Amino acid sequence: MKLIFLGPPGAGKGTMAKRLASHGGMAHISTGDLFREAVAQGTDLGKQVKSILDRGDLVPDEVTVKLVQERIGRPDCRRGFILDGFPRTIPQAEALDRLSPPDLAVNFVLADDEVVKRLSGRRLCPSCGKTFHILFVPPRKPDICDGCGTGLVIRKDDQVEAIRNRLAVYKAQTEPLEAHYRDLGILRNIDAAPDPEKVFAALKTALGV
């Protein structure tokens, strides 16, 4: 099965994609993770996209489509894939329709104030990469990593200014994709507000798995 996951930042697309991929044997492809890895490794791509990611803007379509085209051509995608965070613009969706049309587009629906609450509470350990949330997954000692004792940080794009920008970009550029996939008859809406177990159950029902 070839799936795409739509929905605002913080709706839990990544969490659901990881669970579903291990359940269904598909490849999980997060363009955000691919870009962040490139930044962390200091590759040419990473240098090109770092400031774009920090602001919460979108990487240009040509760069993103090329990355996805290369990734979905790899052998682990033969049994299907979940694209998490791609496409995010109409030109990206049209490119995917030409390259490898998705079977279903799952849209995780979440209100703006919930997006801000979820993202602004996220904390990251810069040393071991463990993630926390001040409300939902608090560390044992405030602002200290449970795993390695390092001081936790807020990802640049989880700072309030960047969150507001990411939401505005989502509404302007990505929300129109709902109509694109609705017109194709492959859009499935899922309420992303309940706890992850309930959302995952609703996802499996929507996919018939």
Give 36's contacts (C-beta < 8 A, 6+ positions apart): 53
Asked whether position 154 contacts ligand AMP by CB under 6 A, the answer is no
CB of 39 to ligand AMP, least distance (A): 9
Q: Are 87 and 177 in contact (CB under 8 A)?
A: yes
Q: Between 2 and 146, whose beta carbon lies closer to ligand AMP?
A: 2
Distances (CA, A) of 173 to 43, 87, 99, 123, 138: 27, 10, 21, 27, 33
Structure tokens that stand for 184 in this block: 């194709």
Q: Which of 39, 56, 177, 192 binds ligand AMP (CB under 6 A)?
A: 56
13 as an active site residue: the answer is yes
Q: Please identify which of the residues 19, 88, 118, 123 carries the catalytic annotation.
A: 88
Q: Round to whole Å and give the CA distance between 31 and 119.
A: 18
Asked whether position 58 contacts ligand AMP by CB under 6 A, the answer is yes
Residue 137: HSE in the Cβ half-sphere, 13 Å Cα cutoff: 14
Q: Please identify which of the residues 155, 156, 164, 204 carries the catalytic annotation.
A: 155
> Hey, is 149 helix, strand or coil?
coil
Asked whether position 64 contacts ligand AMP by CB under 6 A, the answer is yes
Q: Which of 3, 27, 31, 152 binds ligand AMP (CB under 6 A)?
A: 31
CB of 178 to ligand AMP, least distance (A): 15
CB of 166 to ligand AMP, least distance (A): 6
Asked whether position 118 contacts ligand AMP by CB under 6 A, the answer is no
Q: Please identify which of the residues 13, 19, 118, 123 carries the catalytic annotation.
A: 13
- Provide the edge-to-edge strand list for the sheet that holds 81-84: 27-30, 81-84, 2-6, 104-109, 187-191
CB of 196 to ligand AMP, least distance (A): 17
Output the CA torsion 72→166→153→12 (10° steps).
-60
Q: Which residues bind ligand AMP (CB under 6 A)?
A: 9, 31-32, 35, 52-53, 56-59, 64, 85-88, 92, 157, 166
Q: Annotated active-site positions, please?
A: 13, 88, 122, 155, 166
